[in-house]
């Protein structure tokens, strides 16, 4: 059996696993403009956080800052990291990871905040 056929089989094997994603998977040609827009949004949000931190909002400062950071993260993840175009499975992975991380927080704070 030649090397060629061997590899051919592997191709078959892997193909079987992910069909024709090849074409769609990398098909997203996002325009440069979109990226610039996202970047502008991110910079604007940074400016907003800095200004808000300047005004004294008390306990709201923390919450707004974290909310804005979360929005920024979503922007980066969705556009720059191409989550928007990714397979469902990767989106599910990200969700699972975040949920588990969140439970670490909730359960740890079930201790701290009731001590």
Q: Determine if 100 is a binding residue for another protein (CB under 8 A).
A: yes
Alpha helix ranges (H) inside 1-115: 3-18, 21-25, 32-54, 60-75, 88-112
The site for another protein, by CB under 8 A, has a size of: 72
How many angstroms separate the Cα of 4 from the Cα of each of 13, 14, 57? 14, 15, 68
Task: Name which of residues 60 to 99 contact another protein (CB under 8 A).
Answer: 61-62, 65-66, 68-69, 72-73, 76-77, 79-82, 86-90, 93-94, 96-97
Least distance to another protein from the beta carbon of 97, Å? 5
Task: Name which of residues 28 to 47 contact another protein (CB under 8 A).
Answer: 29-32, 35-36, 38-39, 42-43, 46
Virtual CA dihedral for 25, 27, 32, 37, nearest 10 degrees? Answer: -50
Among 25, 60, 84, 95, binds another protein (CB under 8 A): 25
Least distance to another protein from the beta carbon of 100, Å? 6
Virtual CA dihedral for 33, 37, 39, 43, nearest 10 degrees? Answer: 150
């Amino acid at each position: 059996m030649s090397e060629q056929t061997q590899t051919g089989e592997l191709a078959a094997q892997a193909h079987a696993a992910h069909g024709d994603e090849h074409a769609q998977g990398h098909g997203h040609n996002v325009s440069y403009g979109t990226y610039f827009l996202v970047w502008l949004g991110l910079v604007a949000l940074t400016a907003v956080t800095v200004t808000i931190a300047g005004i004294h909002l008390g306990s709201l400062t923390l919450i707004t800052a974290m909310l804005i950071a979360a929005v920024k993260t979503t922007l980066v993840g969705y556009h720059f990291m191409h989550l928007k175009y990714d397979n469902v499975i990767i989106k599910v992975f990200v969700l699972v990871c975040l949920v588990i991380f969140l439970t670490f927080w909730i359960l740890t704070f079930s201790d701290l905040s009731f001590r």
